[in-house]
Amino acid sequence: MFRRQVLRAATAALAAILAAAGMQVATAAGASAVRTVHYGASRVGEFRTNFDQAAQIWNSRVTTVRLLPGTPASNWPAR
C-alpha cells in the first residue's frame, strides 16, 4: 500500500514537472488507467536518440505512465 502511494505521488510530481516545462499530459478516466505523456524532442538536436531511448526504458519499467514522442499537445482532449 505504501509503495502504491509513493508511485502515485511520483507520477503526480512527474506530471507537474512536465506541465511546468510546457508539456501537456493526456489522462484517461479512472484511477487505474494508463496515462500518456507526449514529449517533444524536436529541439534537442543530437540528443534525440537519448530522449527516445530514455522513453523506451521508462515504458519498459513503468506500467501506469506511457511516454510517446510527438508534439506535447498531440493527444490533448478538446473541451
Residue 50 has pLDDT above 80, yes or no: yes
pTM for the complete prediction? 0.50
pLDDT (tens digit, 9 = 90+) per residue, 59-71?
Answer: 999 999 999 988 7
End-to-end CA distance of the chain: 35
Give per-residue pLDDT as tens, 6-18: 777 777 777 767 6
User: How far apart are the C-alpha atoms of 47 and 41, rounded to whole Å?
Assistant: 8
